[in-house]
Amino acid sequence: MAKTQITWNGHASITIRQNDVNILVDPWIQGNPACTSCLEDISQADCVCVTHGHIDHLGDALQIVKMIQAPLVSSPEIALYAHRHGLPYKGELSLPLNIGGSWETEKFCITMVNALHTSDVMGKEWKEQGLAMTGSGAVGYIISFPAGPVVYCAGDTGVFGDMAIIRQLYGPTISILPIGGKFNMGYREGAYAASLLESNFILPIHHGAFPDQPLDIEKLTQHTSVRAPRSTVVDWKAGDTFEYVYQGESFQIINQAQ
């Protein structure tokens, strides 16, 4: 049986592990008020996925890619921005994709899917001069393993009808959805997204790090139970790890933050 661990590093940063596979998604570590780890704790990854250029998602991705020599998976525009900062476009550490495109290895497959969200690139220039570079919106990722499960990392998005296409094409077992109610979905939209996706588990993220981005987990659970009764909303906290055994359909939350 395949055991998959998904750690919520706070806000929108996620680490997905299965056996010796380690995938980072939107690794915002430095300056993330909900993250308890530091860059020095990251020593290995098979890839670093970035959904879009906002500072709380691009985060420390380029520094981590250079530090541990893990390839960057991103849109072409993020990859071009990385090229300006020392990661040659389509080089060994650059794997640009576009909507519907995939990168497949023997151990996992990553497919880029649509997201409904605006974004320029808030990188070094933003941090130092308050300048955002031209971007191209946002994306999500389907991360699938040969022995299961299929994980949908939505990145930042509102709910959109083509989530039904994501269900039909990829059948995500686990959907990681941004539900903070200000820059992405609220609990109503999150529950509706769950009804379109029909995943076994909904892992809400992108809330709790800032006072203006809360989540009423009880309301999300209640609305989801009506709209998507087969989906379980996971009540977890930043720092928690969702551990899932695929064939047994069992899960537990470990390393729960106090």
Flag whether 255 is in a domain. no
Can you give the pLDDT at residue 245?
85
Percent of the chain with pLDDT over 90: 83
The predicted model gives 59-63 an average pLDDT of 95
Flag whether 55 is in a domain. yes
Flag whether 182 is in a domain. yes
Rounded to two decimals, the pTM is: 0.94
Flag whether 19 is in a domain. yes
Of 47-61, 112-126, 237-251, minimum mean pLDDT range: 237-251
Domain count, the chain: 1
Can you give the pLDDT at residue 2?
76
pLDDT for residue 256 is more than 60:
no
Flag whether 87 is in a domain. yes
pLDDT for residue 195 is more than 90:
yes
pLDDT for residue 229 is more than 80:
yes
Can you give the pLDDT at residue 258?
40
Flag whether 50 is in a domain. yes
CA angle 233, 185, 173 (to 5 degrees): 40
Can you give the pLDDT at residue 120?
86
The predicted model gives 20-38 an average pLDDT of 94
Cα–Cα dist 40/48, whole Å? 16
Question: Are the C-beta atoms of 244 and 3 separated by less than 8 Å?
Answer: yes
The predicted model gives 204-211 an average pLDDT of 95
Can you give the pLDDT at residue 43?
92
The better pLDDT of the pair 251, 54 is held by 54
Domain CATH for 176: 3.60.15.10
pLDDT for residue 143 is more than 90:
yes
Q: What is the largest CA-CA distance in the chain?
A: 51
Decide: residue 146, CB within 10 A, 0-12 exposed, 13-18 middle, 19+ buried. exposed
Q: What is the mean pLDDT of the chain?
A: 93
Q: Which residues have CB under 8 Å from 13's CB, separation 6+?
A: 24, 25, 26, 27, 28, 29, 32, 35, 59
Domain ranges, residue 186: 3-250
Rg (Cα) of the chain, in Å, rounded? 17
Of 125-129, 214-218, 234-238, 241-245, minimum mean pLDDT range: 125-129
H helix or E strand, kind and range, residue 243: strand 241-245
Dig out the tokens for 149 from the structure: 């499960």
H helix or E strand, kind and range, residue 229: none
Flag whether 258 is in a domain. no
Flag whether 256 is in a domain. no
